[in-house]
Amino acid sequence: MARIGLLTGGGDCPGLNAVIRAVVRKGINAYGHDFVGFRYGWAGVLAADAIELTHQSTSGILHRGGTILGTSRTNVFKEENGLERVRESLAQLSIDALVPIGGEDTLGVAGKLSDAGLNVVGVPKTIDNDLAGTDFTFGFQTAVQVATDAIDRLHTTAESHNRVIVVEVMGRHAGWIAAYAGLAGGADVVLVPERPFDVDEVCERLRRRHAQGRNFSIVVVAEGATPTDGSLHSEFEAKDSFGHVRLGGIAIELEREIEQRTGFEARMTILGHVQRGGTPCAYDRVLGSRFGVEAIDAVHEGDYGKMVALRGTEIVRVPLSEALAEPKLLDPKLFETAEVFFG
């Protein structure tokens, strides 16, 4: 019997609670392990701030968005004596193994802790779906559904007013959410970080469409998309403890440019954190549950230094280092499929 610590780090996403529930449920029922949950990601590990996780405290959370543990973007290795403090805290709470649930940053810390000899099994999460080593992360499908529902709604108002509506979605430096939601929502233009765009070309495309008798258009833009000439910006100056800039706002400039260059009335909507909040869709609950069950099996077998992952339809274990390779950018074929429906 082991005592295992869970934590959720980085941006929250729908499906985190499904993982927590699955790890604890199988860990108690099948193996008789003990669980604690660190509060607010690595910050909780550094501060030995943890709560007991039991069958009862993890019941009724499957459908709940966010994370019952709280989260933060804390980087252990940017903190003074971070590694020593983690070791002390784990010793103080008699923790044998850690199950961090997070994206590239949280799992990056997990990888370094694993290299330092700690027992770690990671679980990948992010709405951005940009983590190498896994075909999908949970949270992504929910974000895509939220964005698609929004595009559906924006379609009807765009049509009523003869407007171009620019919808900005999240995704950081990957265009997965934009391409999926754009395809599902029938967008007329989709702009992704992987393909810098020319504003004149976007306008020309809209003009052509309107010349063919359509009087409204939907442009989906990923927050990390950039124009080829670097004229529009979506970066804030501040960086987080992992060195990431905050993105957002490209739609504001794009709305203005489109209106000025084409004469079509334009409006923009930034979906922002709506994409991360609320109930996880069924797919994300199932994927989170499958990841959680595999993670506790790996811990039970002492198969550390791994991340659980989806490959095709199978749940597998891959070395944490694989997950920490380059981010997984949008599949060009998917973009080309979305492109078929542009204009």
Residue ranges in contact with ligand F6P by CB under 6 A: 11, 103, 126-128, 170-172, 223, 246-247, 276
| Min separation Cβ 7 and ligand F6P, Å | 17
**Half-sphere CA count of 314, side-chain side, radius 13 A:** 5
Residue whose token pair is 């440019």: 257
Measured from the CB atom, the residue of 163 and 172 that comes closer to ligand F6P is 172
Catalytic residue among 128, 130, 284, 297: 128
The minimum distance between CB 110 and ligand F6P, in angstroms, equals 16
Nearer Cβ to ligand F6P, position 36 or 76?
76
Those residues whose C-beta lies under 8 Å from the C-beta of residue 62, and which sit 6 or more positions away, are 17, 18, 21, 285, 289
Which amino acid is located at 189 in the chain? V
CB atoms within 10 A of CB 314: 10
Output the smallest distance, CB 103 to ligand F6P, in A: 6
Q: Nearest to ligand F6P by Cβ — which residue?
A: 170
- The span from the CA of 88 to the CA of 216, in Å, is 60
Based on CB atoms, which residue is closest to ligand F6P, 194 or 223?
Answer: 223
CA-closest candidate to residue 271, choices 154, 102, 174: 154
Q: Is 34 in the active site?
A: no
CB environment 256-273: b (16+ within 10 A), e (fewer): ebbbebbebebbbbbbee
Q: Hey, what amino acid is at 213?
A: G
Residue closer to ligand F6P (CB basis): 33 or 173: 173
CA angle 131, 13, 335 (to 5 degrees): 50
Residue 89 or residue 141: which is nearer to ligand F6P going by CB? 141
Residue 128 CB, shortest distance to ligand F6P, in Å, is 5
Nearest approach in angstroms of CB 78 to ligand F6P is 16
Task: With CA atoms as reference, report the closest residue to 138 among 317, 315, 325.
Answer: 315
Q: Which residue has the tokens 């469409």?
A: 209
Name which of 171 and 182 has its Cβ closer to ligand F6P: 171
Report which secondary-structure segment, H or E, holds 7: strand 3-8
**What is the nearest approach in angstroms of ligand F6P to the Cβ of residue 180?**
13
Q: How far is the CB of 106 from ligand F6P (least distance, A)?
A: 11
Return the axis-axis angle of helices 16-29 and 282-301, rounded to nearest 10°.
Answer: 40
- Give 97 or 131: the residue with its C-beta nearer to ligand F6P: 131
Chain centroid to Cα 132, Å, comes to: 12
Nearest to 272 by CA among 170, 171, 200: 170
Rounded alpha-carbon distances, angstroms, from residue 266 to 169, 257, 322: 17, 9, 43
Integer Cα distance of 237 and 234 in angstroms: 10
- The residues assigned a catalytic role are 128
